[in-house]
Amino acid sequence: MKLYHALQSQGFGTRKNCVARVRAGEVAVNGVACDNPEAQVDPAQLELTLDGVTWPYREKVYVLMHKPAGYECSHHPSHHSSVFALLPPPLVQRGVQCVGRLDQDSTGLLLFSDDGQFNHRMISPKKGVAKVYRAVCADPVSDAMLVALRTGVQLNDEPAPIAALACERIDAYTLRLTLAEGKYHQVRRMIAAIGNRVEALHREAIGNYVLPATLPPGAWRWLEDDDLKQLEQSPKNRS
């Protein structure tokens, strides 16, 4: 693979821009400066350094973000900033998409990828990848409310009741819900259906992968092979 093509594939601009940056001496390959845009590079173990930042070559991108409140999961947000503004420009340039969304007031684990098959597996109801949410409610959560969420509640425009895969009360006002679907505002709508209201919503896990406690709101990190495997495993009991 030619160096300028590797740069272009990783989101560093058009062919013309990548060629110009290499010729200007702005690029290092595995730590060694290179000013030949036609130089052949091996994608295996390739690291590209630009502007003092080293980027591992990745055929497909898989990253997670600790989404903060007040950001919309859209390239064209209506009222707030976009979560894409929190990602480095090369990731946005290469076309990563949100893998399922969190509304502007919700926080927690948010995935991004440019792998369409991966995105489909994560969000398709047929695949049944579980998402785990922590919801703080406006009113105390009764035993009857827990039973209703476990057995199924009827939502508007849905043909049949929808039940949580698991539901537990963490404290008087806080629930942990595990869902297989990812319908629009599902957690908020389910809790409204039991006569309560969500005050705060946080996605803490997908599959068996838990949002790292060390990742602050607004920060992102790469997902590695072991992380991707955990995303498709059944969630462990976190009670």
pLDDT (tens digit per residue) in 22-67: 999 999 999 999 999 999 999 998 999 999 999 999 999 999 999 9
pLDDT (tens digit per residue) in 178-226: 998 877 889 999 999 999 999 999 999 999 999 999 999 999 999 999 9
* Residue pair 114/97 in contact by the 8 Å Cβ criterion: yes
Which residue, among 130, 79, 75, has the nearest Cα to 104 in the 3D structure? Answer: 79
pLDDT at residue 159 in the model = 86
pTM for this model (two decimals): 0.91
Q: pLDDT grade, residue 78 (50/70/90)?
A: confident
Q: Give CA–CA dist 172/141, Å, rounded.
A: 6
Active site residue 115: no
Looking at per-residue confidence, does 210 or 77 come out higher? 210
Domains defined for the chain, CATH in brackets:
3-56 (3.10.290.10), 62-125+211-231 (3.30.70.580), 131-206 (3.30.70.1560)
pLDDT at residue 239 in the model = 46
pLDDT at residue 110 in the model = 97
Tell me the average pLDDT of the chain: 94
Spot the catalytic one: 35, 103, 171, 227. 103
pLDDT at residue 232 in the model = 86
How many Cα atoms occupy the beta-carbon half-sphere of 23 within 13 Å? 7
**DSSP state, 11?**
T
Mean pLDDT (whole number) for 139-145: 96
Mean pLDDT (whole number) for 118-143: 93
Q: Give CA–CA dist 8/90, Å, rounded.
A: 9
